[in-house]
Amino acid sequence: MKKVIMGNHAVSYGVRASDVRVISAYPITPQTQVVELLSEMCANGELDAKFIAVESEHSALTACVGASAAGSRTFTATSSQGLLLMHEIIHWAVGARLPIVMSNVNRAVGPPWSIWTDQNDSLSQRDTGWLQIYCESNQEVQDTIIQAFKIAETVMLPVMIVLDAFFLSHTFEIVDILEPESVRPFLPPYRPAKKIDVADPHSFGNLASPSEYFELRYMIEKAMEDSREVIKRTDKEFEERFGRGYGVVKPYRCEDADYILVTSGTVASTTRAVVDAMREEGIKIGSLKVRVFRPFPFDEVIATLSKAKRVGVIDRNISFGHHGIFYQEVKSALYGRTDVPVTGFITGLGGRDVTPPVIRTIAEKLIKGTNLEPDINWIGVKI
Amino acid sequence: MIEIRTHGRGGQGAVIASEILADAFFREKKFVQAFPAFGVERRGAPVVSFTRVSDGEIRERCEIYEPDHLVVLDPVLIETVNITAGLKPGGWIVINTNRDMCGSGLCETFRVATVDANSIALKYGLGSRSAPIVNTAIVGAFAGATKLVGLPAVLEAIAEFVPVRKENNMKAAEEAFKSLIVASKR
Amino acid sequence: MGEKITFKSFKEMPICAMSVADMTYNLTGSWRNVRPYYDFKVSPCRLGCPTMENIQRYIFLVTQERFEEAWSELMEANPMPSVTGRVCFHPCMEKCTRKDFDQSINIPAIERSIGDRGLDNPGWMKKAPATKKEKVAVVGSGPAGLSAAYYLARRGYPVTIFEAAPSLGGTLRWGIPEYRLPNDVLDRVVAQIVESGPITVKTGAALGRDVDLAKLEKEFAAVFVGVGLSRSRPLGVPGEDGRGVERGLDFLRRVNGGEPVNPGRSVAVVGGGNTAMDVARCARRSGAEVTVVYRRTMNEMPAIKDEIEEAEHEGVKFRFLAAPKSIERGASGPLTVHCQQMKLGDPDESGRRRPVPDGDASFALSVDTLFTAIGEEADDAPYAKLLERDGNLVATKGEWGETSRTKVFAGGDVATGAASVVEAVAAGRKAAERIARMLSGEPEPAVEEPRTISIENINTAYFTKGKRVLVPRVPLDEALAGYREIHTGYDDRMLRREADRCFSCGVCNFCDNCWVYCPDVAVRRLENEYEFDYDFCKGCLVCVIECPRNAISTREEGK
């Protein structure tokens, strides 16, 4: 059924459709209406899940670790500082190979306090072993939550679904809400091979000596590699059933493009409007949305960008002392495989609006190619 | 694409007004988008929210700087906020007021409609004398003035979005739809 | 025993760190240099008890609410806990380790509760049948005689008790007032003992008058003499014999027999022992102003400290360092008691400082009645011919009550001089055990030096300081209005609270600390004990440190 709902609630509906059994969350700022609606659903019986309210995000994810290890499909939601507080357990969930799914509303981290969007909170968890998927619409958010459980439970790695604060989280738009009945054939109940079970006692999370730790890490990386195929297969099966697919990347008018802007999140959506406007003017420009950030879609990124004359990467984040993080990633993917020049643009930090004129400024700078810093160009900074 | 900006004060229901508006257009098979200008809101502070309406997919995910129309829940804001910033010439300004806006100067460039939403809200028991909740009435008036969306769609959207007193809210919208006054140039 | 698992490749491994087998193949116990072992000691309180009651054990059983077992445990050492729980001078409490922590456990109050439960549950006492043919005579039915009779009868020996008075109990009946030991409690205790086995009672049978010791020696396989001390010692001052002067014991006998007494408005009691305190307090109950005259000071008084405090509480006055030297009386009216003022000199053989006259200082008291309570002595006429004597007491050898005649044993005050109820109970039990071994030919048990502990061995981190649970008592005006029992005893909740304070010194009470803290899971918890699994015990001794009560000892390996 189609309804006009906010992005936070799109997450909640995705969780509802996925027959999640345990939800644990810290209910206060920077929490969002994701868990508010979920707690209502649990209370009124719409969702047959145990809702565990805890005293911190660290505890929230820890509760999910326990529940998941005991064989339950589990979910948590957080944002900015809350995600950072989870950091220790973010690693733990991966090492313990638990298919937890989390939504993170991308918010800038403090100080200064901010509740507005940028990507540094989730990107600071880049190297933990979580799969990360960045969404651009409420529909995509709901659908990706459902896909995420299937992917996670196939490769036994946790998945983080990321959505921009306000520009998605608090924005109302039309979502085709999926019911659990229609999702069940796509996403059967979670049945782990091994779980905490009093009838079959084992110790979990115990010490591993140097003769085992190395192999366990190797297996995580291997699972991450395997997930590339699993993500594509899951997206394809979802599209066959529900008529919507998203791809690991989304190229737009790139086939003959001389200039390509690499984007993520809601900026990807706005950029397409700019691409269309500039195409009207005869400029051969396209855009590439990176949807799946971990595992990084090397093949798709290389294939799309290597034909261009110049590539610009728009980052709503900054790795201090280096460059924009998507820029680093794209450049590293292309290194040694193609000579196409790549330039980084940083904009929109702390929720600064990334409007069509801002994107157009970036495109024009890229096309002109003069007065460009090689790696890092701050757009809109008031200096 | 139609872009509508709503001005109000924290507590008046401006954000919900923009959402009701979006939902009403959705019921007429349009693509829609509604969101507040995100800030740290408190009661009485000026707030802004946005509604986009289109026949096709809406890709712009940023605030509205050059709206086609305005909805104004509190006439006093006209004196404190530059509400017409970016408003396209000929656009509608639908204002909650019992004053005659013909001499305000707005009518020179824009189309202006007024409705005494405060009285209508109080008549139907919406909010209190000190803080009437006028968002449903003003949406009714917007439909009546601009004819961009039909009254039945507005009433359905109100039934969907307003948690309490659905009937009275719908009656307020209907009365505003009928009682609005279109100001004319002098 | 487990098996060591080695992964040949990562494909055999689980995807996350989890155990796939146990580690029991690795016998880490071989690392051990020092071995812990469960080693229960004797609690200090038990060593303090003349009759060696297993106090730790019965308190533990109370904490488990296993009251019948607690009672049985107690009866193994003492057949009259309802009596000793009321009147004992409780040397156990002096030894209690908890005394060095906050306050010693109120052991007699617990003992009394258990004893009274035994009286209230007659089914707990299973009557012992007569399984032996050798008959034993017990002469005297005070605490020593009753104790001897009980332990002989429990072993199946037919016992005949000879008692001079019309009813049993001896000094318990005639020498202890009802406010400390009510007659009905004593009656039930006596009845329980008499019913416990093959016991025949002959009352009105006084040794030397109705019964001859030499005849008993011939007729019975063994004889136990526990006739106590029957004569009050005289003051030996002019004017002692005559109106207004009475022996304290006679006064107590009349009071306990329910006779009306009227010692007048003002009374003096000479003496500092328990009899003096009992006489003084009974006189208070008849309405008199009472002064205790004692030749030393309060510190030297032989009476139980509690009794002295109770007497003071009830308004008894004390005149220390005073000794009567003559008594004057007219035809009627008050007596005049002339007293010598004393001072303390050098210590005597008992270690107490000897009272000596303080020059010529003297004073006079005017009283209606003077009670003498300066001690009792034995009437040795009935046994003087047959048995060797020590003074006029029966001479005994060692702790088993053997006399100069093989078949005759003695215990209690008649052998020791004035002592306590619990010491008499112990003497009766020990004589009974010795008699039984003599008659059955059993060997003497090996005596081991008991090992005990002190506060330094207790891990006090596991205990919270608190106060002893006081025994409720009736208000003073009610207490003085008659002879009702002053202390009403613990209710169930108080009993449990006080029992829970016990450290259980040196003896495991299944607190689980060793089992919980063992880092190698090398403590196994069985139904009624723990055991070490030495295959895995690495000898870290965490159990020894964390045992709150020193019930685990250590031994070096290979030694």
Query: Chain B within 8 Å of A266 (Cβ-Cβ)?
Result: yes
CA distance C37 to C43: 18
Distance CA C539, CA C520 (A): 10
Nearest CA-CA partner of C225 in C431, C6, C43: C431
Q: Is B124 on the interface with A (CB under 8 A)?
A: no
Measured CA to CA in angstroms, residue C11 lies from A212, C18, C143 at distances of 12, 15, 82
Residues of C in contact with A96 (CB under 8 A): 16-17
From C10, C15, C18, residue closest to A202, measured CB to CB: C18
CA distance A132 to chain B (A): 21
Q: Please write the tens of the pLDDT for every residue from A148-179.
A: 999 999 999 999 999 999 999 999 999 999 99
Q: Is C398 left (phi over 0), alpha (psi -120 to 50) or beta?
A: left
- The values of phi and psi at residue A198, to 5°, are -65, -25
> Cα–Cα distance between B83 and B87 in angstroms, integer?
8
Angle between helices C183-194 and C143-154 (to 10 degrees): 30
Confirm whether C10-31+508-556 and C136-231+377-440 share one CATH topology.
Answer: no
Question: Could you tell me what percent of chain B has a pLDDT over 90?
Answer: 77
Per-residue pLDDT averaged across B154-172, rounded? 95
Chain B contact present for A171, CB below 8 A: yes
Q: Which long-range contacts (CB under 8 A, 24 or more apart) does C68-71 make?
A: C68/C121, C68/C124, C70/C114, C71/C114, C71/C115, C71/C117, C71/C118, C71/C121, C71/C124
How far, CA to CA in Å, does C517 sit from each of A377, C20, C264, C363? 61, 25, 69, 70
Cross-chain CB nearest to C15 (options A97, A206, A207)? A97
Residue B41 has pLDDT above 70, yes or no: no
What does the pLDDT read at residue B141?
Answer: 97
Q: So what's the architecture of A2-242 in CATH?
A: 3-Layer(aba) Sandwich (3.40)
CA distance C78 to C150: 9
Domain A249-378 CATH (choose: 3.40.50.920, 3.40.47.10, 3.30.70.3000, 3.40.50.2300): 3.40.50.920
The answer to whether the CB atoms of C14 and A205 lie below 8 A apart is no
Q: d(Cα A32, Cα A103) in Å, to the nearest integer?
A: 10
**E strand or H helix at B139, and its extent?**
helix B135-146
Which residue from A214, A33, A187, A170 is spatially nearest to A101, judged by alpha carbons? A187
DSSP string, C334-402: -EEEEEEEEEEEEE-TTSSEEEEEEEEEEEEEEESEEEE-S-EE---TTTTTTS-EETTEEP-BTTTTB
Closest-CA residue of chain A to C10: A215
- In the structure encoding, which two tokens stand for residue C495, read together? 């009993």
Nearest to A228 by CA among A301, A288, A163: A301
Q: Which residues of B touch A267 (CB under 8 A)?
A: 61
- pLDDT tens digits along C481-499: 989 999 999 999 999 999 9
Spell out which residues of chain C touch residue A97, defining contact as CB-CB under 8 Å.
15-16
Least trusted range by pLDDT, from A50-64, A242-256, C359-373: C359-373
Closest CA to A103 of A28, A4, A3, A35: A35
Instruction: Delimit the domains of chain A by residue range.
Output: 2-242, 249-378
Cβ distance C179 to C157 under 8 Å? Answer: no
d(CA C274, CA A23): 75
**Residues of the domain holding B37:** 2-182
- Token look-up 């790795």 returns A319
**Mutation to test the B interface, candidates A2, A4, A275, A354, most B Cβ within 10 Å:** A4
Report pLDDT for C330. Answer: 85
pLDDT at B90 over 90: yes
Strand partners, C36: C554
pLDDT digits (tens, 9 = 90+) for B74-85: 988 888 889 999
CATH code, domain with B167 = 3.40.920.10
Distant-in-sequence, close-in-space partners of C137: CB < 8 Å, separation ≥ 6: C159, C160, C162, C216, C219, C220, C222, C223, C224
Q: Please write the tens of the pLDDT for every residue from C11-69.
A: 888 889 888 887 788 899 998 999 999 999 999 999 999 999 999 999 999 999 999 99
Q: In Å, what is the CA distance from A140 to each residue of A148, A307, B32, B160, C522?
A: 12, 28, 16, 23, 56
Domain boundaries along the sequence of chain C? 10-31+508-556, 136-231+377-440, 234-374
Q: In the structure, do chain A and chain C come into contact, i.e. share 3 or more CB pairs under 8 Å?
A: yes
- Interval C545-550 mean pLDDT: 96
- In a 13 Å sphere around the CA of A369, the CA atoms on its Cβ side amount to 8
User: Which residue in A156, A204, A215 is closest to C13 by CB distance?
Assistant: A215
Which alpha helices (DSSP H) does C166-323 contain, by range? 171-174, 183-194, 213-219, 248-256, 274-285, 305-313
* C1 pLDDT more than 70: no
Res A211: pLDDT: 86
Indicate the range of A52-56, B43-47, C62-66, C323-327 predicted with least confidence. Answer: B43-47
**Smallest Cα–Cα separation from C401: which of C392, C391, C414?**
C414
Please say whether the beta carbons of C380 and C227 come within 8 A.
no
- Residues C452-471 have pLDDT tens digits of 999 999 999 999 999 999 99
**Chain B (16-45) residues lying within 8 Å, Cβ to Cβ, of chain A:** 19, 22-23, 26, 31-36, 38, 40
Look up the CATH superfamily of C136-231+377-440.
FAD/NAD(P)-binding domain (3.50.50.60)
Q: Do A115 and B38 touch (CB under 8 A)?
A: yes
Q: How far apart are CA C421 and CA C411, in angstroms?
A: 11
Rounded to an integer, what distance in angstroms lies between the CA atom of residue B139 and that of residue C212?
124
Instruction: Give A76's strand partners.
Output: A102
Give yes or no for a contact between B134 and B153, defined as CB atoms under 8 angstroms apart. Answer: no
CA distance C60 to C53: 13
d(CA C308, CA A134): 89
* Among candidate residues B46, B31, B28, B183, the one with its CA nearest the CA of residue B113: B183
Are the C-beta atoms of C368 and C266 separated by less than 8 Å?
Answer: yes
CB contact C17 to A (< 8 Å): yes
Nearest CA-CA partner of C96 in C501, C388, C407, C482: C501
Here the ipTM equals: 0.93
Domain C10-31+508-556 has CATH 3.30.70.20: yes
H/E stretch holding B54: strand B46-54
Instruction: Identify all chain A residues contacting C7, using CB atoms and an 8 Å cutoff.
Output: 212, 215
Q: Give how many domains chain B has, as a whole number.
A: 1
Q: Which two tokens stand for residue C170?
A: 């001896």
Number of Cα atoms under 13 Å in the Cβ half of residue A99: 27
Do the domains at A2-242 and A249-378 have one common CATH topology? Answer: yes
pLDDT band at B157 (very low <50, low <70, confident <90, very high): very high
pLDDT digits (tens, 9 = 90+) for B2-32: 999 999 988 888 999 999 999 999 999 999 9
C-alpha–C-alpha distance, residues B10 and C272, integer Å: 92
Using a CB–CB cutoff of 8 Å, tell me whether C8 touches chain A: no
| Residue B40 clears pLDDT 70, i.e. is over it | no
Enter the pTM of the model. Answer: 0.69
Binary contact (C16, A212; C-beta < 8 A): no
Residues of chain C in contact with residue A206, where contact means CB-CB under 8 angstroms, are 17-19
- Contact of C11 with chain A, judged by CB distance below 8 Å, is answered with no
Answer for the pair C105, C45: CB distance below 8 angstroms, yes or no. yes
C-alpha distance across the termini of chain A, in Å: 49
Cβ pair C289, C269 in contact under 8 A: no
The bridge status of strand A50-53 relative to strand A22-25 is parallel
Q: Is the pLDDT of residue B184 over 80?
A: no
What is the dotted CATH code of the domain comprising C234-374? 3.50.50.60
pLDDT tens-digit series, residues C197-241 = 999 999 999 999 999 999 999 999 999 999 999 888 889 999 999
